[in-house]
Structure 1
């Protein structure tokens, strides 16, 4: 075990995975689930998933009965540095004794965070951007749409099939997931959805051109050809690695083609890094794998970690066109959340730990390990860094998605053996491996052992 692995081992409950005697969930967890069903809306993302968290540390958590789990979801990409990191706890205690809520006037911690983020942005924004803070990814995308329309004087937005950008008004119009849309319309007008280069299930012939080429050229056609009805487009909004749509990492060519198409038409390119940012793909921002310079970048999840934090970084010249006081947000980037975000960034960039290059190498290791299972149900393993999707199928030749009841049996198996995995994808058949970047190799491979056993149990 390397010194780094020794350090990381201290950041999790040492007994994971460990299940208490008896069927899962235990009596206390079952009682908590029943109370939640009576008192909380199940419209939230986790819905009725039979998981109860009572305490957490790093990439592990305990339920009310004392069972200890390995979490391969990181709170859906939130806990990049792990839950309850000692440095984060220290930052919370210290900041809580100085200043927490500061309304929307200037505060030292928020300004410090904005400056730090500016220095960490990808090329095109780095040290020449203005940050607008929000509480959630949905908030950030709502604001991005407003700002894009204001600075361009246009109203249409191009988004992509399989995209997830939030669930409020504008953000829900961009999102394509049926569960988030059905029965909630009509949505904000002016949204045009285009194909995302999901090569494994791409609907067009890729004999002569890649999915990335076809998808990128289609957007160019929309933006730069008469009579497409895309005649007033303010922005193209894209996930550099698609998240809820199935953990789909296109080749750099796709975003490069989008950048060229946007430049030709005077359209803004907004990259949504709420889920794929904060070091998860092995770089601070997933767009950095492509060399593309975005006009705006939305962030969230892993930047805040244990506290809510999100926002937009936009080119300074664009920000100058937005009227002061036109988009108030009372709780955005309060001093406590700013202090935590600064601490998370410090941990992510700690040269001794090297979490981001480690995530890239560990991700390759995970993909090779899962392919080695040689399961008839594993159709494709894909991803960047520790943002890995395992697409499960009934038949590798036909690519028929694995039946929901079988996905449910896999989830039931891993949870019953102390591992939390969260599915995604257009058919709900893509299992995610997206743990905290601080997870130890031992815990990660133990969790993969359980997942392999779950596949074999089918």
Structure 2
């Protein structure tokens, strides 16, 4: 493990909030008690799953079985306890089974859960709260369309953008992930999600995302953000580019599955200007980057850009499904009533939980957003301090950190699948759950709940660092 002298000095003093955060997770993490991993009960569950469940889901073959969870920790049926650096892929912003969330579920479940698609008090209360917490440009003058997943929200965004503009083309970006249904999958570029499933919705144009570490163009005189932003302006506002009927540009303000890539504010600012010139809408996909993960409630706020629409999901609902599309009120007025039904959207139970999550994210005493920003900076510095030859780049914003692993720092050749498998096996068998991403599946994510105790975060990073040294 990492020597004690390398531990950050802030660990030597424990604040009242740190004690609170520590009380919201299993105290014994990480702890492996089974003689083998996976243990016998987990192996039995995995075998049953393989026989009865589709493995088309994202983590279908991962050798982990969740039996219980609390905060940033999970237990499997054999009693092994893990520190979860994935937050359920960005879902558990306030940690799993937070006592206030559990209480909200208890209270609401005895009053009203499913409400059909008519008005209900919790649904309306949540819509009003969402309007209050939106970024500038939407705040106080917006309408929410509720959905159940990020894919649903993006499907609605595309449909509504076409309706209100009278146009049909959509610009998205290389490395983008926006969902796995029809329109949303057409926007998504990951091979695993597309190959063999086409054809998808037509009219999608993909442009380069400013992934500076692997940008395909010369950045000697201009940044990746400048080049990528100017290219979209060229597409939208130059004749003969075939982008002559663009309804919207859809972008992740921090790219998620594509590698946890945080562009500089200039990129989104250039997109805003290009959209304003062309009349296209600017839609920001905040399903993974939103709900406080980057140190602000919404990642687009780092740029000061005013979006026309915003999609949310994951961390807004936390332990229960909750997603949606927020749009300017004048745009929403052009959508015919009753034209896009969604039976389970904004279930009253989900709405109650989302309101509780927002309350925790906004609690000035917990200060979770500023904490995410500061803790993210400390974690990035700590990881760079490993000085490991396989770490090509550490990047991120808040607690949305990507560690790009390479065979060689000079060539940037992605880490081999064999070594990645060995690394994943090490961290899992030592009680840490991490989830890779990236175009070559060589980016390890550090995306824990915003309530993660510092002690557990750096314990988990030590395990990861030791796993790197075993390669």
Which bin holds the TM-score, normalised by the shorter protein?
Answer: over 0.9
**1:224 maps onto 2:237 in alignment:** yes
CA contact (8 A) 2:289 2:298 kept: yes
Correspondence 1:140-155 to 2 at 5 A: 140-155=153-168
**1:301 maps onto 2:284 in alignment:** no
Distance of 2:347 and 2:293 partners within structure 1:
25
- Residue 400 of structure 1 deviates from its aligned partner by 0.3
Distance of 1:348 and 1:97 partners within structure 2:
25
Distance of 1:72 and 1:327 partners within structure 2:
36
Q: What is the aligned length?
A: 458
Aligned to 1:129: 142
Aligned to 1:424: 437
What 5-or-longer segments of structure 2 have no aligned partner? Answer: 1-13
Aligned to 1:233: 246
Distance of 1:449 and 1:187 partners within structure 2:
43
TM-score (normalizing by structure 1) = 1.00
Aligned to 2:10: none
Q: 271, 276, 281: which one pairs with 2:289?
A: 276
SS of 1:236's equivalent? strand
Aligned to 2:119: 106
Correspondence 1:75-86 to 2 at 5 A: 75-86=88-99
SS of 2:244's equivalent? coil
Distance of 1:23 and 1:53 partners within structure 2:
16
Aligned to 2:393: 380
**1:434 maps onto 2:447 in alignment:** yes
- Residue 23 of structure 1 deviates from its aligned partner by 1.3
Aligned to 1:88: 101
Aligned to 2:217: 204
Aligned to 2:8: none
**1:317 maps onto 2:330 in alignment:** yes
CA contact (8 A) 2:34 2:78 kept: no
Distance of 2:162 and 2:357 partners within structure 1:
32
Q: Provide Cα deviations, 1:256-299, integer angstroms capped at 9, x if missing partner.
A: 00000000000000000000000000000000000000000000
- Residue 436 of structure 1 deviates from its aligned partner by 0.4
Correspondence 1:177-216 to 2 at 5 A: 177-216=190-229
SS of 2:30's equivalent? coil
Correspondence 1:44-63 to 2 at 5 A: 44-63=57-76
SS of 2:235's equivalent? helix
Distance of 2:21 and 2:39 partners within structure 1:
30
Q: 370, 375, 378: which one pairs with 1:362?
A: 375
Aligned to 1:262: 275
Distance of 1:91 and 1:281 partners within structure 2:
26
- Residue 34 of structure 1 deviates from its aligned partner by 0.2
CA contact (8 A) 2:18 2:453 kept: yes
- Residue 455 of structure 1 deviates from its aligned partner by 0.3
What 5-or-longer segments of structure 1 have no aligned partner? Answer: none
**1:173 maps onto 2:186 in alignment:** yes
**1:407 maps onto 2:425 in alignment:** no
Correspondence 1:17-36 to 2 at 5 A: 17-36=30-49
SS of 1:400's equivalent? coil
Distance of 2:251 and 2:230 partners within structure 1:
15
SS of 2:406's equivalent? strand
Distance of 2:131 and 2:86 partners within structure 1:
28
Distance of 1:404 and 1:165 partners within structure 2:
25
Distance of 1:22 and 1:66 partners within structure 2:
11
| CA RMSD after TM alignment | 0.3
SS of 2:249's equivalent? strand
**1:8 maps onto 2:21 in alignment:** yes
Distance of 2:53 and 2:97 partners within structure 1:
25
- Residue 47 of structure 1 deviates from its aligned partner by 1.9
- Residue 133 of structure 1 deviates from its aligned partner by 0.1
Distance of 1:344 and 1:410 partners within structure 2:
33
Q: 33, 55, 80: which one pairs with 1:67?
A: 80
- Residue 29 of structure 1 deviates from its aligned partner by 0.2
Distance of 1:212 and 1:90 partners within structure 2:
45
- Residue 301 of structure 1 deviates from its aligned partner by 0.1
Aligned to 2:410: 397
Distance of 2:421 and 2:85 partners within structure 1:
16
Distance of 1:438 and 1:224 partners within structure 2:
45
Structure 1 segments of 4 or more deviating over 4 A?
Answer: none
- Residue 21 of structure 1 deviates from its aligned partner by 3.4
